[in-house]
Structure 1
Amino acid sequence: MTLSALDDVLRTASSVRVSEIEWYGEIVVDLTRPGVLDGLRAAMAVESLPGVVCACRGQVRFEFFDAHGERLTVVVLHHGIMLAWQWESGHADLADGAELLRWLGEHGLPGPLLSSDERPEWQAWKAAIPPALEEMAGDLVGHWPMAADSKHVVEARERMRSVDSVTGVLQLLAWCAAGMGNQTKSPPYEDVPGLVLRDVPIAEIVAALHSAQADERHDVGAARILLVDKSRIKQRMDVARLPGPLRVRVREAAAARGYELPQWAERLLLNA
């Protein structure tokens, strides 16, 4: 199989799902937009087949689809310098690995080769933690699912009760909004704000969103907690109790962030 064989396949691609193997980032890119496919093909150009096979799983998986949604092929990026594909002799060396990393950054995956502590989304999340919970960061920001009744979540709720209700709710909503947007593989630690807010009455959340301090971040956080996540016990009733203008705000925030809403949420929000 020749060096150009991969590019021959990519010519007919209409979309690509790009997933980070060692992190949570995932994007879907429309390759029919002008210049997008050509840019990716150029970034994935290979220059040699050195007969080497990397022993790791790779860092980024590219899954290409045609115009009918049928999968064309899968390519895996290794260490920013090699591609694993169907070449019999092993992985191929990229002509310019930095160019492919730039393409990823421009389309929403800026740090596939960074360590956890270096990730901008990780740093943004830690920076947004409410002051009352900063001492608990090591317990609340981890790569494991956390139960709603875990001792750390219970302690976080207790600490937030010492904060003024409006301020505390806004801090938790802003923390939630600092997450990875519409990524489908969100880190488990991004569930924590919703778990802390789980038992907070919807009236208090509404009051916070009506306050003068509320801004777009808080609308985004409310959209995620009330519409996307499943931490609220009476989620549908909570959304139904949102005043009309607030329904519009959270619907617009969800759309701006690219959240995929369940049908029940769409129906309730359209009644605003």
Structure 2
Amino acid sequence: MATLDELLSGAIRVRVTTVGAPGDPVLDVADPAELELLREALTVERVTDGYCMCHGDLEFVFTGGDDRRTVVGLHHGVALRWTGWNGDALLRDGDRVLHWLARHGVDGPLVQAEHRQAERERELLGRQAWTAAAPAAVRDLLDLAIAAAHTTGVIAPSVHALVTDRLAQAFPDPAERAAALLTWYGSGTGRYSGYPVYETLPAPALADTPIAEIIDALQRFPDDRVAAGAVRHLCAWKSRAHLRRDIARLPDDVRARLLAVARESDDDSTRRRAEQHLTAGPSRS
């Protein structure tokens, strides 16, 4: 059986179509020089033993001089699918393919790849900020939480228990301990949904922290990072056993400070939740 490179070297035309959207091709190229550039861009690093679960983004339909058609699927700008392989193949340089397409007016895949890269960079920065904010007493537990985020998606209760025990020893003063937890919890992405699982590592310890200690921490430590952690904690869904009652106990000056910090956030959800939860009247529960 001919290799993919051998088949593509004899191609005289390529039509690019959108997977799952039959109709006219989004691109039709017959220039030999451009076909050669595309063939070089489609060089693969290795064939894997597995397949991406999606159907792919685009398909390159190559036509040879003998009218033989060779269909190659593009997956996320990093892999190819061809019937001659027992798995998807990783591209040696996916950017070359994306830029080739963009030069011909098909810039969607390149834009999507740039968005994915930007998101990966944001996630990396968030993880670095979250790690840096973690108290020294629990730093050796962070890798366990990060690993869980990429495997089971669940942090073991024993790890949460270690966090609670170690912070109790490292911060005998309850208000200092609460401030450390809030600073840590408010770091990273700070989001209420779509955040990495590892960011929940401080959550159980915060849930068990009496609201009086959280209020004391907010009053004694005027750091906006402490307030941001409190906003994220108190405005989350079911973050405490008696959430509404605890919010109702916030002194007016503390509530005003949390609202001010939330309103400065660039996250719409944070601002919306703060207005909903922190401006509400006292609970009757």
Quickly name the TM-score band, shorter chain normalised.
Answer: 0.5 to 0.7
Q: Find 1:266's aligned residue among 269, 276, 285.
A: 276
Over 3 Å counting, the alpha-carbon distance change for 1:268 and 1:168 in structure 2 is: closer
Superimposed CA distance per residue, residues 126-160 of structure 1 (whole angstroms, 9 cap, x where no aligned partner): 1211111112222233405446x811111110111
Could you tell me which runs of 5 or more consecutive residues in structure 2 were left unpaired when the two chains were aligned.
1-23, 28-57, 62-71, 80-92
- Amino acid of the structure 1 residue aligned with 2:167: M
Q: Contact 2:186/2:228 (CA < 8 Å) preserved in 1?
A: yes
Q: Contact 1:191/1:229 (CA < 8 Å) preserved in 2?
A: no
Q: Aligned pair count?
A: 196
C-alpha distance in 2 between matches for 1:123 and 1:270: 35
Q: Which residue of 2 aligns with 1:192?
A: 201
- Residue 226, structure 1, aligned to residue 231, structure 2: no
Q: Secondary structure at the match of 2:190?
A: coil
Q: Contact 1:202/1:238 (CA < 8 Å) preserved in 2?
A: yes
C-alpha distance in 2 between matches for 1:111 and 1:133: 29
Q: Which residue of 1 aligns with 2:73?
A: 53
C-alpha distance in 1 between matches for 2:122 and 2:97: 19
Q: Secondary structure at the match of 1:260?
A: helix
Q: Contact 2:145/2:197 (CA < 8 Å) preserved in 1?
A: no
Q: Find 2:245's aligned residue among 237, 259, 264.
A: 237
Using the TM superposition, give the Cα deviation of residue 242 of structure 1 relative to its aligned residue in structure 2, in angstroms: 0.7
Q: How does 1:245-256 map to 2 (within 5 A)?
A: 245-256=253-264
C-alpha distance in 2 between matches for 1:112 and 1:208: 33
Could you tell me which runs of 5 or more consecutive residues in structure 1 were left unpaired when the two chains were aligned.
5-47, 60-77, 84-91
Q: Contact 1:80/1:113 (CA < 8 Å) preserved in 2?
A: no
Q: Secondary structure at the match of 1:54?
A: strand
Using the TM superposition, give the Cα deviation of residue 238 of structure 1 relative to its aligned residue in structure 2, in angstroms: 1.2
Q: Which residue of 2 aligns with 1:174?
A: 183
Q: Secondary structure at the match of 1:53?
A: strand
TM-score (norm 1): 0.58
Over 3 Å counting, the alpha-carbon distance change for 1:239 and 1:168 in structure 2 is: same
Q: Secondary structure at the match of 2:118?
A: coil
C-alpha distance in 2 between matches for 1:165 and 1:159: 13
Identical amino acids, percent of aligned pairs: 26
Q: Find 2:138's aligned residue among 129, 133, 139.
A: 133
Q: Which residue of 1 aligns with 2:222?
A: 214
The higher-RCO structure (CA 8 Å, 6+ apart) is 1
Using the TM superposition, give the Cα deviation of residue 264 of structure 1 relative to its aligned residue in structure 2, in angstroms: 10
- Amino acid of the structure 2 residue aligned with 1:180: T
Q: Contact 2:77/2:95 (CA < 8 Å) preserved in 1?
A: no
Q: Which residue of 1 aligns with 2:36?
A: none
- Higher helix fraction (1 or 2): 2
Using the TM superposition, give the Cα deviation of residue 227 of structure 1 relative to its aligned residue in structure 2, in angstroms: 0.7
- Amino acid of the structure 1 residue aligned with 2:162: E
- Residue 159, structure 1, aligned to residue 169, structure 2: no
Q: Which residue of 2 aligns with 1:123?
A: 128
- Amino acid of the structure 1 residue aligned with 2:133: A
Larger Rg: 2
Q: Contact 1:198/1:232 (CA < 8 Å) preserved in 2?
A: yes
Q: Secondary structure at the match of 1:186?
A: coil
Superimposed CA distance per residue, residues 54-93 of structure 1 (whole angstroms, 9 cap, x where no aligned partner): 246979xxxxxxxxxxxxxxxxxx966667xxxxxxxx82
- Amino acid of the structure 2 residue aligned with 1:155: L
Q: Which residue of 2 aligns with 1:69?
A: none
Superimposed CA distance per residue, residues 6-54 of structure 1 (whole angstroms, 9 cap, x where no aligned partner): xxxxxxxxxxxxxxxxxxxxxxxxxxxxxxxxxxxxxxxxxx9854422
Over 3 Å counting, the alpha-carbon distance change for 1:186 and 1:244 in structure 2 is: same
Superimposed CA distance per residue, residues 209-246 of structure 1 (whole angstroms, 9 cap, x where no aligned partner): 101x3311111110111112533111111111111121
TM-score (norm 2): 0.56
